[in-house]
Amino acid sequence: MARTLNDSLWRQLTEELTTSMREWRSLHPKATLREIETELDARLARARARMLEDLALASTAATWQEAARLQTPTCPECGTPLDERDTHPRTLLTHGGQELTLERSYGVCPECGSGLFPPR
């Protein structure tokens, strides 16, 4: 069963965006369009990173156990089915310069010890 989008997270992000921009605007009644745009972009970039993270996790969907029911990942060196190890977080940077952390399964070959992230 694929992971679905985190609805409460999305609601929370959009509410925070609305609330914080409303507050900022009331405190900066004389802000220029450029200043407003800069504030909005900074908030959007933060929300965007969280949304992107949630979307990426939802679209890659399956844990390795789920994928393994269809096809067991094998060692590229010797062809032995891999043992799944803990997920390793990967940290990426979005276009907005926000950090994004993704978890993905990591496999180790029980025969030759090669490790790899299976392609998704």
Residues forming contacts to Zn ion in the complex (CB under 5 A) are: 75, 77-78, 80, 109, 111-112, 114
- Smallest distance from the beta carbon of 71 to Zn ion, in angstroms? 17
Read off the DSSP letter of residue 107: E
Q: How far is the CB of 72 from Zn ion (least distance, A)?
A: 13
**Which residue's CB is nearer to Zn ion, number 97 or number 110?**
110
How many angstroms separate the CA atoms of 63 and 33, rounded? 45
Classify residue 97 by its DSSP letter: S
> Are 47 and 81 a contacting pair, CB within 8 Å?
no
Comparison of 37 and 111: residue with beta carbon closer to Zn ion: 111
Sheet containing strand 115-116, strands side by side? 83-93, 99-108, 115-116
Minimum separation from the CB atom of position 113 to Zn ion (A): 7
- How far apart CA 104 and CA 86 sit, in angstroms, is 9
Task: Decide whether 6 or 72 has the Cβ nearer to Zn ion.
Answer: 72
Rank residues 6 and 114 by Cβ distance to Zn ion and give the closer one: 114
Q: Which residues pair with 100 in a beta bridge?
A: 92
- Least separation in angstroms between residue 73's CB and Zn ion is 11
Judged by DSSP in three states, 104 sits in strand
